[in-house]
Structure 1
Amino acid sequence: MKNNEIPLKQKTIKGFLWGGIANGIQQVFALLFGIVLGRILMPEDMGIVGILTIFSAVSAAFMESGFVSALIIKKNITQDDYNAVHWLCIAIGATLYLLLFFAAPLIADFYEIPILATAARVSFLNFFISSFGIAHSAYLNRNLLLRERALSTTAAVFISGICGVTTAFYGLGYWSLIIQNLTYCIVTSSGFFYYSGFRPTLHFNFKPIQSMFRYSSKLLLTNVFINVNNNFLTSILGKFFPTAIVGQFNQANKWNLMGQTFILSINNSLIQPLMTEISQNDGSRQVRVFRKLLSFVSFITFPLMFGLSFVSNEFIIILIGQKWLVAADYLRIVAFGGAFAVASNVFANYNLSQGRSTIYMWNIICFGLLQIALFFLLKSYSIIYLLYAYTGLQIIWLNTWYYICRHKLQYHYYFLFKDVYLFAVTATLSLFITNLWASHIDHIYLRFVAKAAGLVSIYLFLLFITKSDILSEVISFLKEKISKKEKNTK
């Protein structure tokens, strides 16, 4: 038994390592290409692509239909299972593309933007192209071929970024973003096919789908609402606000999501094994492990996301220019709410680790419906008020996740205050203290550095004088690593 477990453990650790490295490299590429494209393109270009995003995202969720997860957890898997999912995904992708192809003029009429019709017909090819790589993606995940997956996605980010920047430089405007997305899908699907051991055949047998459908249908509904939640505002703004405003919000939300992804990528290697440990231990052990995880996530999240909110003006102007100044106002609000979304993610993962996928699904659906309701209640006001309301909803929803988990986890509200809100309050206090002196600096680059460095320094100092447990553990961990390194060099 042990001999079989060692290769699996090594493969898992290697996979996490490759996943972490690839994610970091991809974040750097996304940052660099985002800066260049932001300086070349106009807000209207971002707005046009942003409006169409929800159609592609929801179609991709329907097309995948939860079958990737179903293939990964299936005990005895065969060629027929992969083959059935492969051809079904392509069939669904083709059907959805044809429907949206003919609906494109209606979409353009709804938004009263004639150029959307042609843009939509080309842009929607991305999810159809992706359908050819879904079964191969499942194969890579199931067999822990995360290095191969990482190579494919990293190459796709780099090549698509080069294509996007080149076409933008030659004046193609919003088409450069569409070309970038299509290139990413082509390279990713090709890479998955190349590294996957599965090869599709023309033997059509859809019987395996029946056994997977019950599990996958629940994931389908959840994934659809996750994509609606992430893209609804960007899309619906195009109906009631100018395209330039949509572009400004899309730009702000892109940096917000990039910040969240960066934090989650740091914690993913920690979250997954700890969540497994939580599900296998007694109640008191569960609470201790969960609290340590949540405290660590909060310790990183609040200074980084509140910091992004704090320096949003300088950050946007320095990186992508004065024309995106409105996006800085939006980023200041959405990054603040994004911090609470990251904390909520820990509770959501706990629910999934306990097999409570139905509760998770309804929570996602309710959050999406409330977002939609808030928009229609506040759409006649400024978008700023709408974003404040969405941020308030993020904070409330963290408490909703707590309420759902509290009994099963035996997690008291005092713990939530200590593990989350105490870090939020400390980061906020650090922000206000830093602002007292840093805001008076005239030079924008110096002000940016002073704000960022001041906030982090004061934040760590406040945690140090209040004897924060998580800070003590981080310091001890770093000291241990340094001493080990010194011993090895000797």
Structure 2
Amino acid sequence: MMKQLLGGMKWTGSATAINTSVQLLQWAVIARLLDPSEIGIMSMVAVIITFAQLFTDMGVGNAIIHKQNATQNQLSTLYWLNVMTGFTVAAIVFFSAPLIADFYNEPLLVELVHLVALIFCIIPFGQQFQYIMQKNLEFDRIAKTDITSVITGAVVAILLAYLGFGVFSLVYGQIVFHSLKSLIYGIQGWKDFRPSFYFKLREVKSFLGFGLYQMGSRSVSYLSSNVDYILIGRFLGAEALGVYQIAYQLVVVPVTKINPLITKVAFPLFAREQKNNESLSKGFTDMSKMLAVITFPILFGMMSTADVLVPVMFGDQYDASIVLVQILALLGIFRVLMNPNGSILLAKGRADIGFKWDLGVAAIHTLAFYLVVENGVEAVAWTYVILGVINFLLGRILLHHVIGLNAKQYFTGLSAPAIISATMAALVYGSYLLATQWWDSASVLLLAVLVLLGIGLYAILFISFDKHYLKELAGFLKRKKKLA
């Protein structure tokens, strides 16, 4: 399984690196062209886009990956159902615009949400083909499509922001991104699989049953992950949300962009091994350590360089985001480790457990954030960290019951990257304190020096204290190359 995992990561890794860099560049440029309140308004719109998008495929996308024997007629029925659902979601979003604007007390949201509704008429035409490619492990095609769409959408958003379109630039950028992505998937997909004009719901009941739990799980999971945005925007206003958004974007990128580098490849592999708990347990432990090795140094590094990173990337107007970056980086560590749980539950066909779990988390998050939001964004961030720790620990117990996860092996695997990353971060922060005696704290050169120092320290420490893991990875790569 590790060999196939690394093979898929070749393409998803390239796409992740490029897309993450492009999106960070987009935010860095646009943050200097827009003020925090405009960033906050776009954050409100982004919550709507992503939440509504969860419903466009009725949750059956992962069911297509999970089930190994879907027929032509079943896939055709699901395709047209996806299209119909997309138009339904678009209509609901469009007519909900006044209610959304009233909730946030932002009249501009009416026009923005009306524009956003167009996206949900576009997405379904290419969505199913993406899932089929993922099932067939065609990650090269997925990567090329994602890279092209992200770059094009970012260029459009930056250009329009420069021309003075304000928050509309980000919305138009999203429309271009989703339109191009759907078009490319549609063109590629129709060459390989042409949906017939066939539609019988009774033949896809098993898909819909799986999808119903998946859709519910994704919905409540997204709510629990974004209720902080919703409540901050509602009670503290667009400017506070803009400051929080900038911090969250820096921290959430490794979680939402780097995690799929592995989990997108892992899910179809886990699905093939769904009856072998021993293989799943080992695969999950290996995947978690790989995620930790990649993301821990980034998150710890953000904590140690936030005083330089935020003003250099976004400007002095976002200095209030510095402490939020440091707090939310702690949250990012636990989010990284919790995210792969879904791949295991879906592979085992237990979307019902995922739904119930996420429903409980969403309820707790909503109540906790509601109780603390009036104390400010820092109170919300610290509450998020505490809940993240609890959620992570309970999640390990759940996986022990589902696949017999070996807690000792799991935590032993995570200990090396955690200790090495924390040590690296402490040394980098100490260097920062010394360097500010001679350098401006918002110096690009200082940030570059600290980043290079962190990379060098992490490499030296890893080679010194976990050389065995590097040799293991090198061995897998060599064997894969010989078989290619």
TM range (shorter): 0.7 to 0.9
**Do the aligned residues in 2 keep the contact of 1:274 with 1:289 (CA within 8 Å)?**
no
TM-superposed deviation, 1:143: 4.4
Structure 2 residue 238 is matched with structure 1 residue 243: yes
2:391 match = 397
Q: Which moved more, 1:52-61 or 1:335-344?
A: 52-61
Structure 2 residue 119 is matched with structure 1 residue 119: no
1:377 match = 371
**Do the aligned residues in 2 keep the contact of 1:83 with 1:200 (CA within 8 Å)?**
yes
Aligned equivalents of 1:180 and 1:380: distance in 2? 33
Q: Secondary structure at the match of 1:227?
A: helix
1:473 match = 469
Aligned equivalents of 1:193 and 1:116: distance in 2? 31
Aligned equivalents of 1:76 and 1:464: distance in 2? 45
2:26 match = 33
1:6 match = none
The one-letter code of the counterpart of 1:372 is T
TM-superposition CA deviations, 1:400-431 (whole Å, max 9, x none)? 11111235555565545433356434433443
Within 5 Å, which residues of 2 pair with 1:200-239? Answer: 200=195, 204-239=199-234
Identify unmatched segments of 5+ residues in structure 1. Answer: 1-8, 486-490
Q: State percent identity of aligned pairs.
A: 21
TM-superposed deviation, 1:180: 0.5
CA 1:240–1:411 in structure 2 vs 1: closer, same or farther (change >3 Å)? same
Aligned equivalents of 1:274 and 1:27: distance in 2? 25
CA 1:296–1:63 in structure 2 vs 1: closer, same or farther (change >3 Å)? closer
Tell me which stretches of 4 or more aligned residues in structure 1 moved more than 6 Å: 9-14, 479-482
1:49 match = 42
Aligned equivalents of 2:204 and 2:423: distance in 1? 54
Q: Secondary structure at the match of 1:379?
A: helix
Within 5 Å, which residues of 2 pair with 1:3-42? Answer: 16-42=9-35
1:94 match = 87
**Do the aligned residues in 1 keep the contact of 2:66 with 2:268 (CA within 8 Å)?**
no
Within 5 Å, which residues of 2 pair with 1:304-453? Answer: 304-407=298-401, 409-411=403-405, 413-420=407-414, 423-442=417-436, 443=439, 444-453=443-452
TM-superposed deviation, 1:58: 2.4
TM-superposition CA deviations, 1:106-158 (whole Å, max 9, x none)? 22122111111111111222223212222333343344443333332222112
**Do the aligned residues in 2 keep the contact of 1:156 with 1:185 (CA within 8 Å)?**
yes
**Do the aligned residues in 2 keep the contact of 1:70 with 1:216 (CA within 8 Å)?**
yes
TM-superposition CA deviations, 1:199-257 (whole Å, max 9, x none)? 45555544434342211111111111222233322223111012111112122222222
**Do the aligned residues in 2 keep the contact of 1:47 with 1:248 (CA within 8 Å)?**
yes
- How many residue pairs match? The answer is 472
Q: Which has the higher contact order (CA 8 A, sep 6+)?
A: 2
CA 1:13–1:263 in structure 2 vs 1: closer, same or farther (change >3 Å)? closer
CA 1:201–1:393 in structure 2 vs 1: closer, same or farther (change >3 Å)? same
Aligned CA-pair RMSD = 3.3
Q: Secondary structure at the match of 2:339?
A: helix
The one-letter code of the counterpart of 2:91 is L
The one-letter code of the counterpart of 1:326 is A
TM-superposed deviation, 1:273: 8.1
Aligned equivalents of 2:130 and 2:354: distance in 1? 24
**Do the aligned residues in 2 keep the contact of 1:72 with 1:142 (CA within 8 Å)?**
yes
**Do the aligned residues in 1 keep the contact of 2:227 with 2:369 (CA within 8 Å)?**
no
**Do the aligned residues in 2 keep the contact of 1:20 with 1:269 (CA within 8 Å)?**
no
1:5 match = none
Aligned equivalents of 1:457 and 1:137: distance in 2? 38
Structure 2 residue 152 is matched with structure 1 residue 162: no
Structure 2 residue 246 is matched with structure 1 residue 264: no
Structure 2 residue 188 is matched with structure 1 residue 195: yes
CA 1:67–1:319 in structure 2 vs 1: closer, same or farther (change >3 Å)? same
TM-superposed deviation, 1:379: 1.4
Q: Normalized against structure 2, the TM-score is what? A: 0.86
TM-superposed deviation, 1:384: 0.2
Q: Secondary structure at the match of 1:63?
A: coil
Alignment counterpart, residue 176 of structure 1, candidates 159, 169, 183: 169
TM-superposed deviation, 1:305: 0.9
Aligned equivalents of 1:248 and 1:372: distance in 2? 21
Aligned equivalents of 1:422 and 1:143: distance in 2? 34
CA 1:277–1:59 in structure 2 vs 1: closer, same or farther (change >3 Å)? closer
CA 1:326–1:106 in structure 2 vs 1: closer, same or farther (change >3 Å)? same
Q: Normalized against structure 1, the TM-score is what? A: 0.85
User: Which of structures 1 and 2 has the bigger CA Rg?
Assistant: 1
TM-superposed deviation, 1:262: 4.6
CA 1:88–1:314 in structure 2 vs 1: closer, same or farther (change >3 Å)? same
CA 1:352–1:77 in structure 2 vs 1: closer, same or farther (change >3 Å)? closer
Alignment counterpart, residue 254 of structure 1, candidates 245, 249, 255: 249
TM-superposed deviation, 1:101: 1.9
Alignment counterpart, residue 99 of structure 2, candidates 81, 106, 123: 106
Aligned equivalents of 1:388 and 1:200: distance in 2? 49
Aligned equivalents of 1:472 and 1:140: distance in 2? 34
TM-superposed deviation, 1:168: 0.7
**Do the aligned residues in 1 keep the contact of 2:275 with 2:348 (CA within 8 Å)?**
no
**Do the aligned residues in 2 keep the contact of 1:51 with 1:236 (CA within 8 Å)?**
no
**Do the aligned residues in 1 keep the contact of 2:91 with 2:117 (CA within 8 Å)?**
no
Q: Secondary structure at the match of 1:439?
A: helix
**Do the aligned residues in 1 keep the contact of 2:116 with 2:171 (CA within 8 Å)?**
yes
Aligned equivalents of 2:205 and 2:389: distance in 1? 40
**Do the aligned residues in 2 keep the contact of 1:19 with 1:146 (CA within 8 Å)?**
yes
CA 1:353–1:323 in structure 2 vs 1: closer, same or farther (change >3 Å)? same
Aligned equivalents of 2:86 and 2:473: distance in 1? 48
Aligned equivalents of 2:63 and 2:265: distance in 1? 24
